[in-house]
Amino acid sequence: MPFPVIFAGLAVGASAGVVLRGLNKVRSRNRMVHPALISQGKKSKPDIKKKTDSTMSPAEAVAAKQQRVALGSVGLIGLGALTTPVIGLAGLPLLAYNYTYMMRGVWRSYRNKGKLSVVILDALSVSFAIFMGFFFTAGLLFTAVFTANRLVARTERQAQTDFSRIFGELGDTVWLLKEGAEIEVPLESLQAQDVIIVKAGDMIPVDGHVSSGEALVDQHLLTGESQPVEKKTGDEVFTSTLLISGSIQIVVEKQGSDTLTGQIAKTLEHAATFKHQVQARGEKLVEQGASRTMLASGLALPFLGLGHAMALSYSGFGYQMRTSAPLMVLNYLRIASRNGILVKDGRALDTLQQVDTIVFDKTGTLTEEVPKVGQLIACNGFSKHQLLQYAASAEQRQKHPIAQAICQHAQQEGVSSLEVLNTDYAIGHGLKVDLANENQDSASLRVMIGSRRFVDAAGIAVPDVINQREDDGGDKGYSMVYIATGENELVGAIELQPALRPQAKQTIDALHELGITPYIISGDQEKPTRYLAKTLGIDHYFAETLPEGKANHVESLQAQGHKVCFIGDGINDSVALQKADVSVSLHGAATIAQDTADILLMTPDLMHLPYLLGMSTELHQRMNNSEIINNAFGFACVSGVLLLGMGASGAILLYSGGLLTNLSNSMLPLLTHPEKEPKALKEHSED
């Protein structure tokens, strides 16, 4: 056996090991901070069991075992060729072990009515090599095949781990507060309305709200937020977020599969399904190429001889797409999950690069759910301070967006609220509340807060300055909240303005640069919708659209030949989300919208959209590159056999080189899209 072939073969085997070891190092470097931070919780719960990323899946373990056997045979046979044949003979049982496993795979494929031409090509290629006495060549082929299988299995397992890391790891037990005592109970025994205690270093095990205490919570694995979030009484908390400091009592609302993270876990099934769909697409190419390759080898047999006919069988046009295609898609799904993007249906990632039109639902997508306070217009001798104080006091127990906007503004301005003594609701109009007067010796203060219809029905006069402001703001989508006293005297009005999401304008500009046409769709009137579109630089919009009309507009755009992505967050968006070629929703949206959408943004950062479009285009380009690489090595193999008389060993080396090049192309995205380390964890680890 020529020395160059032996050395090249050993280099191929070494390269396979280096690739896998390098991926381990990259992965461990990206994971250094978070597990260290979680380990601080061991003081409070020392016997929590943890899953590890290093645990192999069954498929990966089998592939790893076969790979090690193949590498052993290559080493022994190569060493025997360089020293004494006795050493080489020790590698033959290892070849027999690999060969037996492969032939069992052929039988399983036949029994399950699988793609026979693919596995038969594998089996024939190896059989030719073994029965012709090219044992070293057979070992190289086994090494290449099982290295590829192991890499795909490893990446699939790591993709599932990355999805799981979005919601972290939970312990087996929790501390339940019962009759004033802390009791350690199994996590699965919790019921709704139970109260549990979570302390610094613990992972929050349920969805619920804080009933007592304050804490700093790291939610980056769930929401992508780089900074920890303060949680106090009344705030929502989510399972698998990490409590960094403080201690809180949590009222259980959901646990287990009903939690947000339990719902997210279902996306693993979608990801796995898509992996097999992409693999099937790759195997379709392989099936076509394998049939042609076997036919060419058969025709060449009487003219070129068995050795060269066997060499032709390694040209493998399209063959490597069976491995590189699913491997590449799984890696991009991992990258998306690292950045807080849940690609629930991988087909959407493939389709995004064809999208030329993106339709935004206005409210809750381009604008925040909670509006912002504009002008405060006080009248009849009342001050702006009194106006804001009365409004915030009346709304302090309410949870709707208008109440949140007013109370947040009062807090920012340092305006304190008065105690609410009594509340009367006027459905569709507003509230009447009795407030404790700041002057303790005086009676309670009656305040009315609500819409223009509320004050008009009470016969309260509205000054011209407020009427004018209401007319001017109406064209921009602004609204007014009126505040009056119990004596039907107007205190003033608070202007509320739609709050654009911080990245909305930047996102639209980025979409224009990518050649994407954005649309706004809204149930609002024409003028406010047009004003928002102009503000964002959007030329097309649909106003006064009923819920069923949203889906009609999507279908109309599709009928014009457009590939449409729809982005919405409401119950009334669900049909449009279903009709669109690609659908996107945001974390915190209506449950039906999140369930329907193909892609879920775990943070409200709309700049994820151009990022996703770029990722989809990059995926498509890399797929094309893989086909080019595969075909280039295939043509080189055919040319070498027909023109240069290249034998099976050279063909195997070309095949292995093409496979390693394709695998490198598939794994490269993990290096070009490194995992971002959250600032909160980085600062904490430095401390």
Q: Region 29-46: what's the mean pLDDT?
A: 33
Q: Which residue has the higher pLDDT, 118 or 1?
A: 118
Res 293 pLDDT > 50: yes
For the purposes of burial, counting CB atoms within 10 Å of the CB of 460, is it exposed (0-12), middle (13-18) or buried (19 or more)? Answer: middle
Q: Convert the pLDDT of each residue in 42-72 to its tens digit.
A: 333 333 333 444 577 788 888 889 889 988 9
* Highest mean pLDDT: which range of 165-174, 272-281, 411-420: 411-420
Residue 417 sits at φ, ψ, to 5 deg, of -100, 150
pLDDT at 20: 47
How many CB atoms are closer than 10 A to CB 254?
Answer: 18
pLDDT at 305: 74
Residue 306 CA: distances (Å) to CA of 1, 124, 136? 18, 12, 17
Q: Region 379-399: what's the mean pLDDT?
A: 91
Res 505 pLDDT > 90: yes
- Give me 50's structure tokens: 């943890």
Q: Which residue has the higher pLDDT, 453 or 34?
A: 453
* Residues of the chain above pLDDT 70, percent: 75
pLDDT at 221: 54
To the question of pTM greater than 0.75 for the whole model, the response is: no
Q: Region 388-410: what's the mean pLDDT?
A: 89
pLDDT at 288: 62
Confidence of residue 168 (pLDDT cuts 50, 70, 90): very low
Q: Which residue has the higher pLDDT, 303 or 579?
A: 579
Domains of the chain with bracketed CATH = 3-165+267-339+613-686 (no CATH), 173-262 (2.70.150.10), 341-368+501-601 (3.40.50.1000), 372-497 (3.40.1110.10)
CA angle 654, 656, 660 (to 5 degrees): 120
Q: Label residues 92-107 b or e (16+ Cβ within 10 Å = b).
A: bebbebbbeebeeebe
Q: Region 379-408: what's the mean pLDDT?
A: 90
pLDDT at 237: 87
Q: Region 618-634: what's the mean pLDDT?
A: 86
Average pLDDT score, the chain: 77
pLDDT at 262: 52
Res 580 pLDDT > 50: yes
Q: Convert the pLDDT of each residue in 517-528 to its tens digit.
A: 999 998 888 888
Does residue 591 contact residue 336 with C-beta atoms inside 8 Å? Answer: no
pLDDT at 15: 43
pLDDT at 390: 93
Res 34 pLDDT > 60: no
Confidence of residue 676 (pLDDT cuts 50, 70, 90): low
Confidence of residue 283 (pLDDT cuts 50, 70, 90): low
pLDDT at 9: 47
| 22-26, 258-262, 293-297, range with the lowest pLDDT | 22-26
How many CB atoms are closer than 10 A to CB 489?
Answer: 14
Instruction: Please compute Rg for the chain using Cα positions.
Output: 32
pLDDT at 641: 84
Q: Convert the pLDDT of each residue in 654-666 to its tens digit.
A: 877 887 888 888 8
| 67-71, 115-119, 625-629, range with the lowest pLDDT | 115-119
Report DSSP state, residue 367: B
Confidence of residue 511 (pLDDT cuts 50, 70, 90): very high
Q: Convert the pLDDT of each residue in 249-277 to its tens digit.
A: 999 887 555 555 555 445 444 544 444 45
Q: Quick one: how many helices (H) and strands (E) in the chain?
A: 26, 20
pLDDT at 249: 93
| 82-96, 215-229, 383-397, range with the lowest pLDDT | 215-229
| 58-62, 124-128, 390-394, 493-497, range with the lowest pLDDT | 124-128
pLDDT at 40: 32
Q: Convert the pLDDT of each residue in 320-348 to its tens digit.
A: 677 777 778 888 888 888 888 888 777 78
pLDDT at 345: 74
Supply the DSSP string of 584-646, one letter for each residue: EEETTS-HHHHHH-SEEESSS-TTHHHHHHHHHHHHHHHHHHHHHHHHHHHHHHHHHHHHH--
